[in-house]
Amino acid sequence: MKRDLPWRSATPDFYRVWLSEIMLQQTRVEAVIPYFESFLARFPDVHSLARAPESAVLAAWSGLGYYSRARNLHRGARQVAATGAPTGYEDLRALAGIGPYTAAAIASIAFDQPHAAVDGNVMRVVSRITGDTGEISSPITKARFTEAAQLLLDRGRPGDFNQAMMELGATVCVPRSPRCGECPVARFCDARATGRETELPVKLKKNASRDVPLDLALLRNGSEFFLIERAAGERRLAGFWELPPKNLFPRWRGRLAAQFTHQIVNDRFRISIFEGTAPKVLPAGKWLSPAELDAIPLTTVTRKALALAGTELKSRSKSQGNTTIKQVEV
- Rounded CA-CA distance 144/147 in Å is 5
Amino acid code (one letter) for 317: S
| Secondary structure (H, E, C), 9-21 | CCCCCHHHHHHHH
The one catalytic residue among 21, 197, 242, 275: 21
* Cross-strand partners of 9: none
- Rounded CA-CA distance 137/205 in Å is 11
C-alpha angle 113/118/119, rounded to 5°? 130
- Rounded CA-CA distance 31/163 in Å is 19
**Strands 241-242 and 286-288: what pairing?**
unpaired
CB-based contacts of 78-83 (< 8 A; 24+ apart in sequence): 78/50, 80/46, 80/50, 81/46, 81/47, 81/50, 81/51
- Rounded CA-CA distance 330/223 in Å is 21
Give me the phi and psi of 210, to 5 degrees please: -110, 130
Give me the phi and psi of 138, to 5 degrees please: -70, 135
Check if 21 is active-site. yes
**Who's near 75: CB < 8 A, 6+ residues apart?**
96, 97
Which of 177, 171, 166, 173 lies closest to 189, judged by CA?
Answer: 173
- Rounded CA-CA distance 229/284 in Å is 8
DSSP labels for 280-323?
A: SS--S-EEE-HHHHTTS-B-HHHHHHHHHTT---SGGGG---SE
- Encode burial over 225-248: b for 16+ CB neighbours within 10 A, e otherwise: bbbbbeeeeeeebbbbbbbbebee
Active site amino acids: 21
